[in-house]
Structure 1
Amino acid sequence: MAVIDELKGVKVTVQVNGQEAVEYDDPDGLENDVNRKHATHRAFNYIESKDDTCFTVKYEVNHMHRWESPKSAFSLYLYVDGKRMDSVVCEASRFNSFDPFYIWSTVVEGSRGSSRDPSYDRLSKFQFSQVTTGKVVISWRCHEYVVRVLTCLSVDDATKERVEGDSKKAKSLGVIEVFVYPLTITGPSYTSGHEHYRDNQNSSFNIAEKALKGRAVSHGTSFTDGGFVSKRKSVCAEYLNDGNPIACFMFKYRSRDALQKELIIPRSPSPEAIDELSEADIRRLAAERLDEINNGRRSGTVKQERKGPIIKREFAEIYDLTEEPAKREWKKIKIDANREAIDLTDD
C-alpha cells in the first residue's frame, strides 16, 4: 500500500483480481513528474499488470490522521490514463465514535455513469488491456464468409496526424492517480444525479510504434459491465489549499516484461541448458557419454601415472620408499687355496 509520511493515516492500494498488488519504487518518479495539479506531497510506485485482468483502487483512513476540526474532510479523486473516473469524500465526523480501531474504507471498482433509474448508477469495471503496435487487420463479409487476413494496414505507416494523436494518448497510458483535496463541510449531504465523467466505451490500444518513443507502455484501461450500483451521497463543501490537492498517489502499471526492461525488477535468470532439452535428448546425451567412458576403458589409451608416498623428515631428507634399492657390492677377501670369502662385517 502507498503511504505519504506527511499525510498520516491515509493509505491507497491497487488490487489486481482481488489481491493487493506488489508495489515497486519508482526511482525517477519525482524527477519526471510534471505535477500537473500542483500537489503538495507525492508518492510514486510501479505495479504489475496482466492482460484482461480486472483491478480496483482501495482507500483507507485510520485514527492516525489528525483532522483540524469536526467539519474537516477530504475528497479523493481517481484518474486513470489521464481521465477522471471517480471521486469520494471522507469526513472527520465518521471518527467521532472514539473507536481507536475504526478504519474508514472504500473500494472503487470502476467508473460510474448515469442510468435511467434515478436511484442507481451504471458501473463500468476497470480492466487492463494490452497495448499493441504493428498491423491492423481489415475484415469484411463476402459471400457469407468473413475475410480477415486479405488486407492490412501498417500502424508504422500512419499519417503524421495519427502519430501525433497516438503520442498524446500514450503519454497518459498506464497511469493510475489519486489526488487528495482538503475540504470543509458547509452543508448536509444529499443524493443527486451522479456526474457522468466520461463515455465508458473501450478505447483502441493499437498505437503507432513511433508514438511510444521507446516508452515501455504495455497496457491501458478498458471497461467491463459492472451492472447497476446505488448512488452515493454528495456533500456541500468548500475546497481549501487554494483548490490544490495536498497529496498525489501515482501508480504506473506495466507488464512483467516491461518492468524488467525499465529495470524496475530484475530479469528472470536464464534457464540451465539442460532445462531446454527434451527427455529424449537428455537420454541420448547420457547414452553417448556412457559409450565414451566405456570405450576409453577398453582401449587402454589412458595411462595414469602413479606416484608413491613421500615422507618428509625433520631435516628435510626425502626418501622415496617405492624406489628399488641399489644393488650392493659385497667386499671379497682371499683365503688360502685361492678361495674367496665375503666379509659380512663391513658397513
Structure 2
Amino acid sequence: MPRRNEFLDLSLPKGIHAAPVPGITAQIISRNKKSFPSYPSPDKEAIVEGDELSEYFSTRTVTTYIAVTNDTPFSIHLRVDRPYPQNMDCSKLQFEIFVDGKFVWDAWCHKPRYQENGNVWEEIIGGLKLGKGKGCEIKDFKFMGLKTNEESMSYTTLQRIRKSMAKIGKIEIKVYRTTYGKKGGDVKNSMKGFLTKNNREVPETALKGEAKSHGTTLDEGRKTIRGDVWRDTNKHGELPIIIFRFLYRSEEALRSLHIIEHSPAPSRSSSPENEYHANTDLSADQKKRVEDLLRSFRKPAGGGGGPSSQRKIKKENESGSRKRIKREEEPESSEMAAKRRRVAKGKGKAVIIDLIADNSGDDQKSGSSEMAAKRRRVAKGKGKAVKIDLIADSSGEDEEKFEFPNVAIDDEEPEVVKLIKDKDDEDDVDDEDDGLFVQDNDPRSKRPLWRGLDLFK
C-alpha cells in the first residue's frame, strides 16, 4: 500500500469541517497556498418547527466569513482524510461547487483511488474549466471589488439586479454520496454571470443596505488538463451530507457586520507599578522592596492629602463654620447694631443733633429775624444743640458706660458726652491685636472686650 503522505500537500493548512461528518474539510486559499482570515458565522441556520429538512440542514451547514482584498486570486481546497471511514459506504463522494450562485465544477473522490492513496484524497480547484480534451482551458478565480452608484432605474430592472446580487459574495460546496455513473461527458458550466470591469458597478439601492464588497471575476484562460468527469450518477437520498458556505467580504464590511470587532484602544495601566514590573527584570527581593516603597507613597502622611485627612479637614471646617454662625446669631443690642453699621461704612464720627425748637408757638409772630439769630448762635456753637457720640461699646456692659447728655442752653458751650470710656479707663488686657475686631474662642466669661477705639481717632 502506498504511503498516504505522498498524496497530501502537507504545506496546506487544515480546512473547516462539519461535526456530523468528520474527516471531510474545505477551505479557500490564496495562490501561495495560504488560507484567508476566516471567522465563524455567529448566526445559525433557521429551524422551522415541524420541518425536518430545516433541522437537517441546520446541523449539516457550516457558514464561515473570510476577509478578502481586491484583485486577489483564490482557489478551493478539498480534502478527505481520517477520521473518515477507510471503507467508504458509497462509490464516490461528489463535491458540487458554486461561486456567486453559479455552478463551476464537480470534484470527485472515487473510492478505488481513495483506498489506493492510503485512505486520503485532496484536490484544488483554482478556476473555471471550459472545454475538454486538448482544448480545455482554465480561467482562474479572482476577487473583484464592487462599485456602487446612485443611478435611478425602473422597478423591473432594479429587481433583476437585486436578484443577481443576492448570490454575489458566496462560495458554496455541497457534498453528496453517489453511486454508479459513467465516465466522461460535458460539464454544464459557463462564464456567464461572473463580474467584469463593465458590470462591477451597481446601484446602491440594489444592495438593500447589505454589506457586500466583492464578487468573483475570471482571469485570462490558459491550457490545462480537465481531470475526471462523471455523468448519470445517483445521489444517495438526494440530500447533501455537508454544505460548506463561505461568505467573502472586505475587512471593513466584516466590521460593519460585527464579524470582526473593532480593535479596542490600548488600555491604560491602572497603577504605575504594573507597568514597571512588566517592563523590567527584577529579582523577587527587588520587586518586594519596590512594592513596599510604592505602598509607603500611597499611605497618607500626617496632615497629608489622603482621603482620611481630607475628610478630617472637611469635618473641622464644617464644625468651625458652625461655631462662627452660632456666635454671629447671638442677640445684640440696638447700640451694637448701630455701631456695626457705622464701622461697616467706615464712619465713627460724632453726630450733631439740632434740638433747637421754639415751644412758644410764636414763630410766625417773631419773624424771620429771630430765626436767623438762632441759626447764627448755633453756627457759633451756642444754642440748644447737643453733640452726642453714638458710638457704643459692645462689651455687654453698656449700662455702666452710658452717661446722660447735658444740654447747653442759650449761650452755654455744647458739652460733648462720651458714651465710650477713654482708652486709659479700659480694663488692662494684654492683646497685641488691639484696635481689631477679634473675638476669641475662649469661654464667654474670659472673652476680651470688642476693641475698635483706634479706628475713631
Give the shorter-chain TM-score range: 0.5 to 0.7
Aligned to 2:93: 74
Does the CA contact (< 8 Å) of 2:180 and 2:234 recur in 1? no
Counterpart code for 1:62: D
Check if 1:11 corresponds to 2:25. Answer: yes
Check if 1:112 corresponds to 2:129. Answer: yes
Match among 30, 34, 43 for residue 28 of structure 1: 43
Q: What SS does the aligned partner of 1:30 have?
A: coil
Q: What SS does the aligned partner of 2:84 have?
A: coil
TM-score by length of 2: 0.49
Match among 47, 51, 65 for residue 46 of structure 1: 65
- The answer to which structure has the higher strand fraction is 1
Aligned to 1:127: 142
Shift of 1:66: 1.8
Q: Please give the alpha-carbon distance, in whole angstroms, between the structure 1 residues aligned to 2:85 and 2:167.
A: 33
Q: Give the superposed CA RMSD.
A: 3.1
Q: Please give the alpha-carbon distance, in whole angstroms, between the structure 1 residues aligned to 2:105 and 2:184.
A: 16
Q: Please give the alpha-carbon distance, in whole angstroms, between the structure 2 residues aligned to 1:209 and 1:262.
A: 17
Aligned to 2:213: 218
Counterpart code for 1:73: K
Give the unaligned 5+ runs of structure 2.
Answer: 1-14, 268-301, 305-457
Pair 1:94–1:129, CA change in 2 (3 A): same
Q: What SS does the aligned partner of 1:164 have?
A: helix
Pair 1:200–1:263, CA change in 2 (3 A): closer
Does the CA contact (< 8 Å) of 2:37 and 2:66 recur in 1? yes
Aligned pair count reads: 249
Does the CA contact (< 8 Å) of 1:129 and 1:222 recur in 2? yes
Does the CA contact (< 8 Å) of 1:192 and 1:233 recur in 2? no
Q: Percent identity?
A: 23
Does the CA contact (< 8 Å) of 1:71 and 1:185 recur in 2? no
Shift of 1:239: 2.1
Bigger-Rg structure (1/2): 2
Aligned to 1:2: 16
Aligned to 2:76: 57
> Residues 57-206 of structure 1 correspond to what in structure 2 (within 5 A)?
57-66=76-85, 69=88, 72-97=91-116, 99=118, 103-114=120-131, 118-134=133-149, 155-185=150-180, 190-199=183-192, 202-203=195-196, 204-206=199-201
Shift of 1:237: 5.9
Counterpart code for 1:85: V
Pair 1:70–1:161, CA change in 2 (3 A): closer
Offset from partner CA, 1:321-342 (integer Å, 9 cap, x none): xxxxxxxxxxxxxxxxxxxxxx
Shift of 1:160: 1.6
Q: What SS does the aligned partner of 1:56 have?
A: strand
Counterpart code for 1:14: I
Give the unaligned 5+ runs of structure 1.
Answer: 135-154, 273-306, 310-347
Does the CA contact (< 8 Å) of 1:72 and 1:185 recur in 2? yes
Q: Please give the alpha-carbon distance, in whole angstroms, between the structure 2 residues aligned to 1:112 and 1:80.
A: 13
Shift of 1:49: 1.2
Counterpart code for 1:22: P
Q: Which has the higher contact order (CA 8 A, sep 6+)?
A: 1
Does the CA contact (< 8 Å) of 1:70 and 1:92 recur in 2? no
- The answer to which structure has the higher helix fraction is 2
Deviates more, 1:226-235 or 1:244-253: 226-235
Q: What SS does the aligned partner of 1:250 have?
A: strand
Shift of 1:228: 1.1
Shift of 1:198: 4.0
